[in-house]
Chain A
Amino acid sequence: MKDDEYKLFEPGIDMDPGTIDRREFFKLMGGGIFILFSVGDPFALPRERRRRGYPQDFNAYLRIGEDGRVTCFSGKIEMGQGIHTSLAQMLAEELDVPLNTVDMVMGDTALCPWDAGTFGSRSTKYFGPPLRQAAAEARAVLIQLAAEHLRTPREKLKVKDGMISVKSNQKKKVSYAQLAKGKIIERHLEKKPPIKHYSKHAISGKPTNRLDSRQKVTGEAKFAGDIRLPGMLHARILRPPSHGAKLKSVDTSAAQKIKDIQIIQDEDKIAVLHKHRDVADKALGLIKAQFEPPEYKVDNKTIFKHLKDSASGGQSVAEAGNLDEGKSLASQTFEKAYFNHYVAHAPSENHTAVVKIEGDKATVWASTQAPFRAQGEIAGVLGFSPQNVRVITPFVGCGFGGKNSGRQIVEAARLAKLSGKPVQVAWSRKEEFFYDTFRPAAVIEIRSGLNSSNQIVFWEYHNYFAGSRSSQPFYNIPHHQVLSYGRRGGRGSGGVSVHPFGVGAWRGPGSNTNVFAIESHIDVMAEGAGMDPLEFRMKNLTDKRMQRVLTAAAEKFGRSFSKAPSGKGYGIACTDYLGTYLATMAEVKVDEKKGEIRVERVVCAQDTGEVINPEGTRMQIEGCIIMGLGYVLTEEIRFKGGRILDENFDTYETPRFSWLPKIETVLVDNPEMAPQGCGEPAITSVGGVIANAVYDAIGVRMLMLPMTPARIKEALKIKEK
């Protein structure tokens, strides 16, 4: 396989590569009881209409077992974000069964309904509704069956904990398991039953501990690299020193001397395989290879100029009024450019896959956010039909958008085919940094103006390669234009990229950069207006939800702002991330000598619509804030052209225990609104809130992320002059 040929993930091009048929499904599930239910007859739908979307057939989502246990099937995967728990809560609530009787099966292409992948804080928002509907229909069918069984009209029955009883005579009862017993039941409902109103919820909406934690504290939880198969070989692959480098010569003679080593050449790739990973590592180290790296044109010093030079044809993301008119109304104008560097996903678990091939069938265990995409991809690579490829997703150790692409799965599949053995490919940390699809470096230029009563009258926003998410203004600005250069962060199509290596979605894609720039610039204007940053925001906003989260954060944080530099270092930032609203406030200390920022306290108020698991939501907000400190304070990929200089956590510094600020979360109640996402929103505000707090502390406006000590000291020096 050629290194440069691997096609990175692009959202929106996925098709359902082949849903398994019902009979096949029953076979895989072994024994057990199924209650088949439907509204109308979904199987009458032409196959085409069942593609690319969640199945109409709600049997695809759940199964009630003979033992009364309920299995929930979801094509989503669990990588830490906690949907293993929140999806189970939604199902248990709607079906009326105890939460601890629900078992989750996730990311298994043979058992779960098709899914595009787990990203964009979409799991609850988009998968939640069909799951709830499925459970509600199952419950309605079970009541119908119970009515016949107990010879009592439906209205006289009640359901609790998987038991249906007669209201007036509790002894007359039948359990879900008994109803299902011994046969497959097929039922049709005349009309869709309604789902429960949130005020009736007893499981959903209640703080719930993670259901996967027991496995994870005992070491039983399996990740892809923990799969052990008879005869399995660990493969290590010879890598180029830089992207685009060509292999000139190679000498594997020393490696060949290792006992039981297998060496495979697959086009320009050379792999060593052994039953022990460390022996394969050793063999790899013995290979002598010469590569010819391409001349490098850009590094992390010149990248921003390169990006701006590469930009053409901005696309309008939002516009209103007329910029010239807006400019004529302005009594003060502001112009600044904001920058951020490439950032790595650096997941805890490196990309890993195990592939086993038997005849014309393949089984794949992979750390992936997109198992169905991997299924199609592997089918293509092996020349198998997609139905014959089963991708199983064990627990995934972090994703953050970095595991949408499946290069390691393709590598394992090809090597399994060539070696005739099950093969595991688990990237080293160096490979992880090398093949990561970084968050793109980006430049944002903003020009804006205030009228004499401190209203924002124009806003001109040029976004170079960040990606456009969260760049639409939510402030009231009569004349604005938001332009985005470089679609999807400059990944381009057909492999043409302005970046010297892969870039891609990174937790809160686009938004981290945009919110940093927007919320920094709002503070710049607040200062120009001579106003408190909170007051200035409130004045220029009419969005009630945004006002509510700002007020909630400020109340919790408990102070108003004084004029910078106050020496104290308080900051604020707010945003709307795909429908989730949040406001964050922070307190920082800056050591001017060392240039070090210490974040003391962060308050985040979030309105995410109806909350399924408040405990899970808080965990996500806290994780977002701490992880966010990484890209704000230290994380920056250093590179020379296609050569990645950061290869491990010694130089690429991610947050650790000593960084920990005090974190307080406020969940702003809004159950009337459908659930929104919560895995990403809070991370997008961290750049803005810290930059604003740093300005408040030392009177220096940091325009570039990360705000390293060197950059702080540099900025302080310039200020003194």
Chain B
Amino acid sequence: MEKTFRFKLNGKTVRLSSSPERMLLWVLRSDFELTGTKYSCGEGFCGACTVLVNNETVLSCQYPVQNVNGKEVMTIEGLAKNGNLHPLQTAFMQHNALQCGFCTPGMILGAYSLLLKNPQPSYREIVEALEGNLCRCSSYNRIIEAIQTTARTMKGLRS
């Protein structure tokens, strides 16, 4: 049975008719053609599909679309504003905190949500927050550095 859902997607109100149990990942990638959110393990084990719902990270491959009704969804495409990169994005670039870049959207959104809650996270806190995000290229050390740099330069995130 299809139902209509309304939610905010990267700041714009959208409407979608869909069966309620479809996973948000596929709705984003197919229906909205927002392909920055990646499919990798499909079962909640890797974090590549991480997006934000009301500023909290969710694994979109495990998150039915009915749960976003009335909420705010942000994907990697919504992070830069008017072509201006978010400081986290710039820091990832400066530290070369990526190789193939496939895990990167999930990493950045995971870091974003962490910094919203905890603007000055310790090394341990960064590791704990991102422990579920895998990077097969193993850019882990540089990702941590990029987040530390962002925390140092930003002193708290605006959303």
Q: Do A and B bind each other?
A: yes
Is A429 a contact of B41 with CB atoms below 8 Å? yes
Is B136 a contact of A277 with CB atoms below 8 Å? no
Is A626 a contact of B141 with CB atoms below 8 Å? yes
Is B41 a contact of A210 with CB atoms below 8 Å? no
Is A218 a contact of B96 with CB atoms below 8 Å? no
Is A228 a contact of B137 with CB atoms below 8 Å? no
CB distance from B144 to the nearest CB of A (A): 7
Q: Bound state CA distance, A218 and B76, in angstroms? A: 6
Count of chain A residues with Cβ under 8 Å from any Cβ of B? Answer: 58
Among A109-117, A580-588, A652-660, the stretch in contact with B? A652-660
Q: Bound state CA distance, A214 and B103, in angstroms? A: 14
Tell me the nearest residue of chain A to B138, going by C-beta: A626
CB distance from B106 to the nearest CB of A (A): 10
Chain A residues 200 to 234 lying within 8 A of chain B, measured CB to CB, are: 209-210, 212-223, 225-226, 228, 234
CB distance from A247 to the nearest CB of B (A): 24
CB distance from A217 to the nearest CB of B (A): 4
Is B138 a contact of A627 with CB atoms below 8 Å? yes
Measured between beta carbons, the chain A residues less than 8 angstroms from B92 are 213, 217
Is A350 a contact of B77 with CB atoms below 8 Å? no
Is B40 a contact of A276 with CB atoms below 8 Å? no
Measured between beta carbons, the chain A residues less than 8 angstroms from B101 are 80, 212-213, 215-217, 221, 395, 397
Is A219 a contact of B35 with CB atoms below 8 Å? yes
Chain A residues 630 to 684 lying within 8 A of chain B, measured CB to CB, are: 648-650, 654-660, 663
Is B138 a contact of A622 with CB atoms below 8 Å? yes
- A253 an interface residue at 8 Å Cβ cutoff? no
Is A657 a contact of B136 with CB atoms below 8 Å? no
- A303 an interface residue at 8 Å Cβ cutoff? no
Chain B residues 73 to 120 lying within 8 A of chain A, measured CB to CB, are: 75-77, 79-80, 85, 89, 92-94, 96, 98-105, 108
Chain A contact residues, CB within 8 Å of chain B: 78-82, 209-210, 212-223, 225-226, 228, 234, 275-278, 346-350, 395-398, 426, 428-429, 615, 619, 622-627, 648-650, 654-660, 663
Option from A348, A429, A658, A663 in Cβ contact (under 8 Å) with B103? A348
Is B138 a contact of A623 with CB atoms below 8 Å? yes
CB distance from A471 to the nearest CB of B (A): 26
Please classify the interface of chain B as helix (H, G, I), strand (E, B), loop, or mixed, using the class held by over half of its residues. Answer: loop
CB distance from A224 to the nearest CB of B (A): 11
CB distance from A652 to the nearest CB of B (A): 9
Measured between beta carbons, the chain A residues less than 8 angstroms from B76 are 217-219
Measured between beta carbons, the chain A residues less than 8 angstroms from B132 are 656
CB distance from B142 to the nearest CB of A (A): 7
Is A219 a contact of B105 with CB atoms below 8 Å? yes
Q: Bound state CA distance, A217 and B37, in angstroms? A: 11
Measured between beta carbons, the chain A residues less than 8 angstroms from B136 are 346-348, 398, 627, 654
Is B85 a contact of A348 with CB atoms below 8 Å? no
Q: Bound state CA distance, A226 and B101, in angstroms? A: 13
CB distance from B9 to the nearest CB of A (A): 13
Is A217 a contact of B42 with CB atoms below 8 Å? no
Interface string of B55-83 (1 = CB under 8 A from A): 00000000000000000000111011000
Tell me the nearest residue of chain A to B78, going by C-beta: A219
Known: A209-B94, A218-B36, A657-B144. A276 touches B100 (CB 8 A): no
Is A225 a contact of B35 with CB atoms below 8 Å? yes
Is B85 a contact of A217 with CB atoms below 8 Å? yes
Q: Bound state CA distance, A569 and B85, in angstroms? A: 44
Is A660 a contact of B131 with CB atoms below 8 Å? no
Q: Bound state CA distance, A214 and B83, in angstroms? A: 11
Is A278 a contact of B23 with CB atoms below 8 Å? yes
Other 14 A-B pairs with CB < 8 A, given A80-B137, A348-B135, A623-B138: A80-B100, A209-B96, A225-B39, A226-B29, A277-B29, A347-B136, A348-B48, A348-B102, A349-B102, A350-B39, A619-B99, A649-B46, A656-B131, A660-B144
A-B contact count (CB 8 A): 171
CB distance from B2 to the nearest CB of A (A): 10
Is B102 a contact of A397 with CB atoms below 8 Å? yes
Is A429 a contact of B40 with CB atoms below 8 Å? yes
Is A656 a contact of B134 with CB atoms below 8 Å? yes
Measured between beta carbons, the chain A residues less than 8 angstroms from B37 are 219
Q: Bound state CA distance, A408 and B92, in angstroms? A: 32
CB distance from B22 to the nearest CB of A (A): 6
Measured between beta carbons, the chain B residues less than 8 angstroms from A78 are 100
Known: A217-B89, A219-B105. A228 touches B144 (CB 8 A): no
Q: Bound state CA distance, A79 and B100, in angstroms? A: 5
Chain B residues 105 to 159 lying within 8 A of chain A, measured CB to CB, are: 105, 108, 126-127, 130-144
Q: Bound state CA distance, A170 and B143, in angstroms? A: 45
Q: Bound state CA distance, A449 and B126, in angstroms? A: 50
CB distance from B51 to the nearest CB of A (A): 11
Measured between beta carbons, the chain A residues less than 8 angstroms from B130 are 657
Is A276 a contact of B105 with CB atoms below 8 Å? no
Measured between beta carbons, the chain B residues less than 8 angstroms from A649 are 41, 45-46, 134
Q: Bound state CA distance, A713 and B149, in angstroms? A: 40
Q: Bound state CA distance, A278 and B23, in angstroms? A: 8
Known: A228-B33, A348-B135, A622-B141. A216 touches B96 (CB 8 A): no
Is A657 a contact of B140 with CB atoms below 8 Å? yes
List 9 interface pairs A-B (beta carbons < 8 Å), by A numbering.
A78-B100, A216-B101, A217-B98, A220-B36, A223-B38, A225-B35, A397-B101, A650-B43, A663-B141
Measured between beta carbons, the chain B residues less than 8 angstroms from A226 are 29, 35
Measured between beta carbons, the chain B residues less than 8 angstroms from A395 are 100-101
Among B39, B99, B103, the one with the most A-chain Cβ atoms within 10 Å of its Cβ is B99
Q: Bound state CA distance, A38 and B94, in angstroms? A: 39
Measured between beta carbons, the chain B residues less than 8 angstroms from A626 are 138, 140-141
Is A619 a contact of B93 with CB atoms below 8 Å? no
Interface string of B7-38 (1 = CB under 8 A from A): 00000000000000011011001110111111
Tell me the nearest residue of chain A to B36, going by C-beta: A219
Measured between beta carbons, the chain A residues less than 8 angstroms from B126 are 657
CB distance from B14 to the nearest CB of A (A): 17
Option from B26, B46, B143 in Cβ contact (under 8 Å) with A276? B26
Option from A217, A276, A346, A623 in Cβ contact (under 8 Å) with B104? A217
CB distance from B108 to the nearest CB of A (A): 6
Q: Bound state CA distance, A346 and B102, in angstroms? A: 13
Measured between beta carbons, the chain A residues less than 8 angstroms from B30 are 234, 275-278
CB distance from A432 to the nearest CB of B (A): 9
Measured between beta carbons, the chain B residues less than 8 angstroms from A622 are 138-139, 141-142
Tell me the nearest residue of chain B to A228, going by C-beta: B33
Is B134 a contact of A218 with CB atoms below 8 Å? no
Q: Bound state CA distance, A209 and B97, in angstroms? A: 10
Option from A212, A213, A426 in Cβ contact (under 8 Å) with B39? A426
Q: Bound state CA distance, A212 and B94, in angstroms? A: 12
Measured between beta carbons, the chain A residues less than 8 angstroms from B89 are 217-218
Measured between beta carbons, the chain A residues less than 8 angstroms from B142 are 619, 622
Tell me the nearest residue of chain B to A210, going by C-beta: B96
Is B26 a contact of A278 with CB atoms below 8 Å? yes
Q: Bound state CA distance, A615 and B76, in angstroms? A: 26
